[in-house]
Amino acid sequence: MKVLLCDVGSTYTKLTAVDIKASKIIGIAKSYTTIEEDVTIGYNKALKLLEEKIAGNYGIFNIKFSKKLCASSAAGGLKIVSSGLVPDLTAKASRLAAASAGGKIIKTYSYELTESDARAIEASKPDIILLSGGIDGGNKDVLLHNATLVSKISGNFHTIIAGNKSAKDDISNIFEALNKESPIDDMESHRFDRQFKSPKNKIAKNIVFTENVMPEFGVLNIEPVKEVIRNIFIKNIIAAKGLNNIQKIMDMEIIPTPLAVLEAFEILGQSIGELMAYDLGGATTDVYSIADGNPKGEDCFMNGLPEPYSKRTVEGDLGMRYSMEALLEQINVPNFIKEYSLDEADYYEWVNICKEYKGNLPIARFEKYHPIDEAIAAEAVKISTNRHVGVKKKVMTLAGEAFLQEGKDLTGVKYLIGSGGAIVNSKNPKKILQNAIYTPADLELLKPLKPKILLDKQNCICAMGLLSRIDSKLAVKLMKENFKEV
């Protein structure tokens, strides 16, 4: 049995063929993504290349795949704006929920949205706006205020309400009042999934109510939101992103690429032990941790919101190309140049080249600047790690020294895994990823102490996430074989 795993990215459509019986990857091929025209053009080109490779290497002609699976991050990915009440509580919970559903988080808001926030959200053209705030029975004013503002935003997006359940009726009324004329089609078919037509904006207002991301204080409840996001993606976003044609070819519903990646790391973690992983892209840096992160030792007390075992964070201001300027704003340039022994003139030249080319940079042609690009990647790893891991502060009590921990303790993580072009294609992937490891200068940050560093050389992590839906044992086996220690 042979399966075809397809990853429609923003730049490339990548195909991986796996022979399940022989337990191996038999071919990988890619071609440019053609989402504007018809996504299947790029897919078919890649498929042809793949078939030629397999024919050449294995003498298999007219290969038939018994299953075809696909993930996508094309057309901007699954763009989500999330919001909550207090930044460290429901706002954080909403962000964690959106990230673990595979979303590309544009921004997370807290407290009351303003008119200018609403305009910014409208301009960012999100696929989903996730609103939370208040524990059940707690504050509902802010959620109500935010839902009211969001109901006035025009655009083709879905609103998810995952906050204080006491606000549900009021919010429902707001949307109903806006859409008095005629609720569209399947209003009755889904109890919590109502679609309304807004006479004002002439655009359907889609609203879904689900469980609170923080129903009780300090209790994180992100699974129901994840499920709702997954359903919206399948039912609406696949079509909206122009993926319908490729969906018809596939045997399972298309999922967001980051979700496939998270699932791959989850099953790998179950097999090899706790891990952290990095995917450095042009627009974002994604960090994953598959680890319990609980306080170590009896004198350590947990503070703040508990975090999920499988945690994903997306840093929209830490990208290697599209968001490089935002990344560089966070670096002290003179120190940076000194620390990595870079040439100052070269640095500024490279920054200008990147600004000019954005996504389509033929990196191989600029060998002179590779050390600079690697140093920038290393900084992205450092900053994103510092945001992902928890902190542990020492406090003195009458009973002696004690510690307060906030976030995940990832000191015991066994593996760091690098994925994505910026790391995998670099000459010094180890140097980039080492920045995730604890140094004395990190003080209270709970970063990994002595992890082994692995590299997803073939960039097959997304394919393995898809494969895990058919044969998770094989996916783990292939990852173990393909991830090389550096």
Partner 1 sequence: MKQVTLVMGVVGADVHAVGNKILNFVFTEAGFKVVNLGVMVTQKEFVEAAIEAAADAIIVSSLYGHGEIDCKGLRDKCDEAGLKNIKLYAGGNLVIGKVSFEEVEARYKEMGFDRVYPPGTDPKTAIEHIKQDFGM
Name the residues that contact partner 1, by CB under 8 A: 85-86, 88-90, 133-135, 137-141, 214, 216-218, 301, 303-304, 395-399, 402, 404
Nearer to partner 1 among residue 398 and residue 441 (C-beta): 398
Cα angle 18-22-24, degrees, rounded to a multiple of 5: 40
CA distance 355 to 290: 35
In the complex, what is the shortest distance from the CB of residue 75 to partner 1, in angstroms, rounded to a whole number? 35
Q: CB 132 → partner 1: shortest distance, Å?
A: 10
CB of 142 to partner 1, least distance (A): 9
Q: Report in angstroms the alpha-carbon separations of 146 from 20, 259, 457, 463, 486.
A: 49, 28, 44, 38, 48
**Alpha-carbon gap, residue 374 to 380, rounded angstroms:** 10
Shortest distance (Å) from residue 289 CB to partner 1: 24
Minimum CB separation of residue 127 from partner 1 in Å reads 27
Provide the minimum distance between the beta carbon of 373 and partner 1 in the complex, in angstroms, as a whole number. Answer: 40
H/E run at residue 53: helix 39-58
Min separation Cβ 303 and partner 1, Å: 7
- Give whichever of 37 and 216 is closer to partner 1, judged by the CB atom: 216
Q: Which is nearer to partner 1, 364 or 399 (by Cβ)? A: 399
| Beta partners for residue 32, in sequence order | 12
For partner 1, the closer of residues 139 and 458 by Cβ is 139
Closest separation in Å from C-beta 161 to partner 1: 16
The contacts of residue 304 (CB under 8 Å, 6+ apart) are 88, 89, 406, 407
* DSSP symbols for 130-173: EE--S-TTS--HHHHHHHHHHHT--SS-EEEE-S-GGGHHHHHH
Helix (H, G, I), strand (E, B) or coil at 82: strand
Could you identify the residue written with the tokens 């993926």? 243
Closer to partner 1 by Cβ: residue 403 or 438: 403
- Whichever of 444 and 481 has its CB closer to partner 1, that residue is 444
Closer CB to partner 1, 81 or 85, in the complex:
85
Q: At what angle do helices 141-151 and 115-123 cross, to 10 degrees?
A: 50
SS3 track for 345-363 = HHHHHHHHHHHHHCCCCCH
Angle at 230 between CA 228 and CA 236, to 5 degrees: 95
Query: Quick one: 111 or 340, whose CB is closer to partner 1?
Result: 111
**Two tokens, residue 438:** 């604890």
Dist. CA 349–CA 351, nearest whole Å: 6
- Smaller CB distance to partner 1: residue 332 or 397? 397
Sign of the four-CA dihedral 7, 9, 15, 19? negative
Query: Which residue, chain included where needed, has tokens 């990647």?
Result: 377
Tell me how far, at minimum, the Cβ of 386 lies from partner 1, in Å. 20
